[in-house]
Amino acid sequence: MNPSTNTQLDLADDLLAILRTTTTEPRPDEQLEALTLAVAADLPVLLWGEPGIGKTAALTQLAATLDLPLTTVIASVHEPSDFAGLPIVGDDPEVRGVPMAPPQWAVEIVRAGRGLLFLDELSTATPAVQAALLRVVLERRVGALRLPPGVRIVAAANPRASAADGWELSPPLANRFVHLHWVHDRDVVVRGLGGVWPRAELPRLMPELLPEAVGFARRAVCGFLAARPKLIHRLPSTDTRRGGAWPSPRSWEAALTLLAFGTAAAVSPDVLSLLVRGAVGDGPGLELLAHIERMDLPDPETLLADPAGTELPVRGDLRQAALEAVVAAVGARPERDRWEAGWAVLTQALETGAPDLLVAPAMSLAELRRDDWEIPETVDRLAGVVGLARRADNSVERAAAAELEPATGARR
């Protein structure tokens, strides 16, 4: 072989080495932060994204940053026995049974005692392989081996329209994952191609927040499901949606775990939204997040007991929710003093916030008026906002007209 050829190949290797040498920097990246927190919470994660979007590169960089050995298994090129184990007949199978021998990659992970197991191309794995993966993902068993606690599981899949000979994920397997949709960010790609990628860092859990975070997560999820019991388990009607995130007791447990971790790490609401929706689906996840926002609302009975001495939320949507809760409390037990206290709460809201938020609660409160209840003086202060004094007077006229109408019809 020509010596100059070897020299050129050596130079080519040197050039490739330079191209492949990159650095990392701390930089806000919501999807990477969500992935890292879910990995820290020891929950299986499934990254959905188009081919070439950078899922594999993100997992490689994550494993390097966390100092975890990376084991990549292409699910679509394996047989069910590669995950369930191959039966090995011993000397006395009637007494000892037939052990299921695990594949080499599983043995190496167990020897290492820790690592990141990356199950790639999950959406092109056959239904039989997906069924075999159930034990791997849920029970952490491969054949007769149990994966050590230090092993985290992350999978990747392409949408069926983008996958070669793709399959929809089976509902039992899909329900075991936290689903994150991986998309490219222009700034991340440009900066990364320039040699600097964002650094994946484990969430900084605050020791003093751990008990409080668990209590908060339990109150949030249990309180929400007590109010929305139909969302405890809801299997989607279409195969495509069944292959994604949907609510079940298992996925609600995952959402509770993620909520506790996110609270203890003080992550942003956007990151928490990605995680919760990735566990139970967009609809139920958004409802839970809205419920969490309302958990700190003042008790409507406290507001009715002392309208002038309580503070209403500053944020508009939370303030309106608090006012609507006051009106609902009056409607649940309509009494004159409570009705008048409701107007006092609205007056307090008028003095400390935007008047447009009072329209709907005030109209609803006006509808609760009984004929023998006099209009409080505080209503006059709100008349310029929604014309409540005139509306309250009209309610008396409508009631009187309704009583006279049968009598008039009888005389006819």
pLDDT computed for residue 26 by the predictor: 83
Per the model's pLDDT, the better-predicted residue between 408 and 122 turns out to be: 122
- Cβ-contact 36, 203 below 8 angstroms: yes
Per the model's pLDDT, the better-predicted residue between 65 and 191 turns out to be: 191
Q: In the predicted model, what is the mean pLDDT of residues 91-96?
A: 61
pLDDT computed for residue 188 by the predictor: 85
Query: Do 270 and 338 have their domain in common?
Result: no
Whether residue 280 has pLDDT greater than 60 = yes
Query: Do 407 and 308 have their domain in common?
Result: yes
Domain boundary residue among 253, 273, 294?
294
> Percentage of the chain surpassing pLDDT 90?
39
Residue 108 lies in a domain: yes
- Cβ-contact 359, 386 below 8 angstroms: yes
pLDDT computed for residue 359 by the predictor: 82
Give the span between the Cα atoms of 186 and 183, in whole angstroms.
10
Residue 1 lies in a domain: no
Query: Do 36 and 175 have their domain in common?
Result: yes
What tokens does 348 get?
A: 């307090």
Number of domains in the chain: 3
| Residue of 212, 217, 268 lying closest to 31 (CA atoms) | 268
Query: Do 187 and 315 have their domain in common?
Result: no
Give the span between the Cα atoms of 290 and 318, in whole angstroms.
10
Cα dihedral across residues 301, 306, 309, 312: positive or negative: positive
Domain boundary residue among 294, 324, 346?
294
Domain hosting residue 259, numbered range: 207-294
96-105, 122-131, 246-255, 268-277: lowest mean pLDDT where? 96-105
Whether residue 86 has pLDDT greater than 80 = no
Q: Give 10-39 pLDDT, tens digit per residue.
A: 899 999 999 988 888 888 889 999 999 999
Query: Do 57 and 191 have their domain in common?
Result: yes
pLDDT computed for residue 411 by the predictor: 46
Residue-wise DSSP of 347-407: HHHHHHS-GGGGHHHHHHHHHT--TTPPPPTHHHHHHHHH-HHHHHHHHHHHHHHHHHHHH
Q: Give 165-213 pLDDT, tens digit per residue.
A: 668 889 999 999 999 999 888 888 898 889 888 887 888 898 888 999 9
Residue 316 lies in a domain: yes
Query: Do 56 and 165 have their domain in common?
Result: yes
pLDDT computed for residue 262 by the predictor: 95
What tokens does 256 get?
A: 């509770």
Query: Do 321 and 276 have their domain in common?
Result: no
pLDDT computed for residue 314 by the predictor: 84
Q: In the predicted model, what is the mean pLDDT of residues 41-66?
A: 88
Query: Do 57 and 187 have their domain in common?
Result: yes
Residue 17 lies in a domain: no
Residue 20 lies in a domain: no
Query: Do 166 and 73 have their domain in common?
Result: yes
> Percentage of the chain surpassing pLDDT 70?
87
Query: Do 106 and 136 have their domain in common?
Result: yes
pLDDT band at residue 291 under the 50/70/90 scheme: confident
Which CATH number does the domain housing residue 169 bear? 3.40.50.300
Residue 94 lies in a domain: no
pLDDT band at residue 310 under the 50/70/90 scheme: confident
Q: Give 368-403 pLDDT, tens digit per residue.
A: 988 888 888 777 777 666 554 445 445 544 544 555
Query: Do 262 and 245 have their domain in common?
Result: yes
Per the model's pLDDT, the better-predicted residue between 399 and 9 turns out to be: 9
Domain boundary residue among 154, 179, 198?
198
pLDDT computed for residue 227 by the predictor: 82
pTM of the entire structure? Answer: 0.74
Residue 2 lies in a domain: no
pLDDT computed for residue 382 by the predictor: 73
Residue 107 lies in a domain: yes
Per the model's pLDDT, the better-predicted residue between 274 and 397 turns out to be: 274
Query: Do 290 and 170 have their domain in common?
Result: no
